[in-house]
Amino acid sequence: MDDKTRGWIDGLLGVAIFSGSLPATRLAVADFDPLFLTAGRAVIAGTLAALLLMATRAQRPSRRELAALAVIASGVVAGFPLLTAIALREITAAHSIVFIGLLPMSTALFAVYLGGERPSRSFWAFAGLGAAMVAAFAMTRGAEGSLKGDLLMVAAVVVCGLGYAEGGRLSRTLGGLQVICWALVIALPVMALLGALTWPEDLTHVSARAWTGLGYVSLFSMLIGFVFWYRGLALGGVAAVGQLQLLQPLMGLGLAAWLLGEPVGWSMAGVTAAVVLCVAGAKRFA
């Protein structure tokens, strides 16, 4: 199996894991404050990451790598989790998942800017079409949407695309496991302080569903998924493998309907199916 094929397989595994992130966050914010949830998931994952780095005797990153890791931490450890947690108090998980269709375009743009990748014009046509359909859906949102929630999701997509592109670039030299582990460790002191400041006065009201959501986003969304995702981006190309994120809405909508009982309307399902078709064209011309 060549590196590109391995990259696409790893990327698909990462996307499958990430598809549960927004439904799990929706479960968690029902009982947890978004700030505490953001801090809590980062502290749990960061503690495990520190143990992994010590167990593997990982070499310290260079000063230049530390700067890149700080950008990654800002995007995927702090920015995306916090923005989506706040957004999910305004909109449903099913509605928010469609915005993930914008992530491939965001990731590809940052890949060009940061990593010097140069996809073909046909690639950009398919990527742009997928992003345009998602934007059109957001502007004609139904009752389950809100302007505040939509804008928060757009901001989350931007910072996440930056974190993905920079992480994929750095994984070529550090490896996917070390990249996410060091990013989590860098963010750990700030997140631990935030967690202490936002610690709930009473945890007895927290449901088992909310604890399950916190556990999922801490272990899978913040750590395990990134190991596969960053390795996939490094091996298969950030812009190309990043288009697999167009599959995430389909998986996520199914989970939102199954776990949360949220309605998935025909317009939402139609947009999701259409952007999935774009990934095939983007992959072919990447």
The pLDDT, as a whole number, for residue 55 is: 94
Sign of CA dihedral 214, 220, 225, 227: positive
Lowest mean pLDDT segment, chosen from 46-60, 79-93, 100-114, 203-217 = 100-114
Residues 6+ positions from 184 with CB-CB distance below 8 Å:
42, 45, 46, 49, 50, 73, 77, 222, 223
Q: Model confidence at 282, in pLDDT bands (50, 70, 90)?
A: low
Residues 6+ positions from 189 with CB-CB distance below 8 Å:
none
Which tops the pLDDT comparison, 97 or 15?
15
Which tops the pLDDT comparison, 86 or 265?
86
Which residue type, as a one-letter code, is found at position 126? Answer: F
Is residue 144 over pLDDT 60?
no
The pLDDT, as a whole number, for residue 102 is: 80
CA distance 218 to 26: 14
Nearest to 24 by CA among 242, 225, 182, 247: 225
